[in-house]
Amino acid sequence: MTQAGSDIGRFYLTTPIYYVNARPHLGHAYSTIVCDAIARRKRALGIETWFLTGTDEHGQKIERSAKAAGCTPQEFTDKIAGEFHGLWDRLGISNDDFIRTTEARHVRGSQHLFATLRDRGYIYKGSYTGQYCVSCEEWIDGPPGTVCPIHGIPTETVSEENYFFKLSAFERKLLEFYDANPGFMAPESTRREVISFVRGGLKDLSVSRTSVSWGIPVPGDERHVIYVWLDALANYITALGYGSDDPKDKARFEKFWPADIHLIGKEISRFHCVYWPAFLMAAGIPAPRSVRANGWLLFDQGKMSKSRGNIVRAETVVEVLGVDALRYFLLREIPFGQDGNFSFDALVQRYNGDLANGYGNLVSRVVNMVHKYFLGVVPSAGEETRAEAGLRARAEAAIAAFGPMFDELNFSDALKELWNLVAETDGYLTANAPWKKPQERSDAEHEKLQARVLATAAEAIRIVTASAYPILPEAAAKVWRQLGQCEIAGAAKEGFLKDLKWGGLKAGTRLGEPAPLFPRAEMDAIERMQKLEDENNRSAVESASQGEIVAPSSAPAATSVVPANAGNETNGALTPTSAAPIDPARPVDTAKVHQVPAPLASSRLSAVPSAGPANAPLVPAEAKPGAAAQNEQSAATQTLQAPGSQQISIDDFAKVELRVAQILVAERVPKADKLLRLEVDLGFEKRQILAGIAQYYEPEKLVGRKIIVVANLAPRKMRGLESNGMLLAASLEDGAPVLAGFLEEVPLGARLK
Ligand code: MSP
Concatenated DSSP letters of 516-542: --SPPP-THHHHHHHHHHHHHHHHHHH
**What is the whole-number distance in angstroms between the Cα of residue 70 and the centre of ligand 1?**
25
Statement: residue 434 has pLDDT above 80: yes
Name the residue with the closest Cα to ligand 1, atom 5: 16
Ligand 1 pocket member 16 (CB < 6 A): yes
Q: What's the rounded mean pLDDT across residues 402-415? A: 98
- The model's pLDDT over 588-639, given as tens digits with 9 standing for 90+, comes to 222 222 222 222 222 223 333 333 322 222 222 222 223 222 222 222 222 2
Mean pLDDT of the chain: 82
| pLDDT value, residue 698 | 78
- Residue 456: per-residue pLDDT: 98
pLDDT for 449 beyond 90: yes
Res 23 pLDDT > 70: yes
**Cα 699 to Cα 665: distance, rounded to the nearest angstrom:** 8
- In angstroms, the CA 726 to CA 715 distance is 10
Answer yes or no: is the C-beta of 567 below 6 A from any ligand 1 atom. Answer: yes
| pLDDT at position 566 | 35
Band (310; pLDDT cuts 50, 70, 90): low
Q: Is 84 in the pocket of ligand 1 (CB under 6 A)?
A: no
Distance CA 693, CA 686 (A): 20
- Active-site position among 61, 303, 594, 706: 303
Q: How confident is the model at residue 473 (pLDDT cuts 50, 70, 90)?
A: very high
Interstrand relation of 658-669 and 706-710 (parallel, antiparallel or unpaired): antiparallel
Query: Apex CA 222: angle with CA 220 and CA 225, to 5°?
Result: 110
**Active-site residue, 35 included:** no
Q: From the candidates 58, 112, 133, 262, which is the catalytic residue?
A: 133
Residue 670: its pLDDT value, please? 74
185 pLDDT band, cuts 50/70/90, is very high
Question: What residue's CA is closest to ligand 1, atom 25?
Answer: 27
Of 277-281, 285-289, 464-468, 734-738, the range with the lowest mean pLDDT is 734-738
- Least Cα distance to 345 among 532, 520, 525, 471 occurs for 525
| Predicted local distance difference test score (pLDDT) of residue 153 | 81
Backbone angles phi, psi at 275, to 5 degrees: -65, -45
Q: Is 641 in the pocket of ligand 1 (CB under 6 A)?
A: no
pLDDT at 547: 47
Which of 28, 79, 106, 706 is catalytic? The answer is: 28
Instruction: Give residue 579's pLDDT.
Output: 33
Contact 273, 195 (CB under 8 A): no
Range scoring the smallest mean pLDDT among 123-137, 471-485, 572-586: 572-586
Q: How remote is the C-alpha of 293 from its chain's centroid?
A: 11
Active site residue 701: no
pLDDT of 121 > 50? The answer is: yes
Q: How far is the CA of 15 from the centre of ligand 1 (A)?
A: 9
Q: Which residue in the list 42, 79, 148, 262 is annotated as catalytic?
A: 148
CA 748, 596, 647 angle in degrees (round to 5)?
A: 70
The pLDDT, as a whole number, for residue 304 is 25
Q: What is the DSSP string of 675-712?
A: EEEEEEE-SS-EEEEEES-TTT--HHHHTT-EEEEETT
The pLDDT value recorded for residue 308 is 34
User: What is the rounded distance in angstroms from the CA atom of residue 599 to the CA atom of residue 230?
Assistant: 18
CA distances from 132 to 31, 329, 659, 697 (A): 37, 48, 29, 18
Cα(29) to centroid(ligand 1), Å: 10
| 309 Cβ closer than 6 Å to some ligand 1 atom | no
CB 233 near ligand 1, within 6 Å: yes
- What is the side-by-side strand order in the sheet with 156-165? 138-140, 123-133, 156-165, 205-206
Reported as a single tens digit per residue, the pLDDT across 353-393 is 999 999 999 999 999 999 999 999 999 999 999 999 999 99
- The pLDDT, as a whole number, for residue 226 is 97
Q: Which of 297-301, 303-307, 383-387 has the highest mean pLDDT?
A: 383-387
CA 327 – ligand 1 centroid, Å: 18
Mean pLDDT of 201-212: 91
∠ CA 62-63-67, nearest 5°, is: 110
pLDDT for 567 equals 35
Model confidence over 124-160: pLDDT tens digits? 999 888 887 776 666 787 899 888 877 788 888 878 8
Q: What is the DSSP letter of 751?
A: E
Res 735: pLDDT: 64
* pTM value surpassing 0.95: no
* Nearest atom within ligand 1 for CA of residue 267: 19
Residues 680-690, buried b or exposed e (16+ Cβ, 10 A)? bbbeeeebebb
DSSP characters over 241-303: TTT---HHHHHHHHHHPSPSEEEEEGGGHHIIIIIHHHHHHHHT-PPPS-EEEE-PEEE-HHH
- Residue 250's CB is within 10 A of a number of other CB atoms, namely 15
Specify whether 306 is catalytic.
yes
The arithmetic mean of pLDDT across residues 712-726, rounded, is 80
In the predicted structure, residue 559 carries a pLDDT above the cut 70: no
For residue 210, pLDDT beyond 60 = yes
Give the residue among 437, 440, 433, 443 at the shortest CA–CA distance from 387.
Answer: 433
pLDDT of residue 266: 92
pLDDT at 742: 72
3-class secondary-structure state, position 13: strand
**What percent of the chain stands above pLDDT 70?**
81
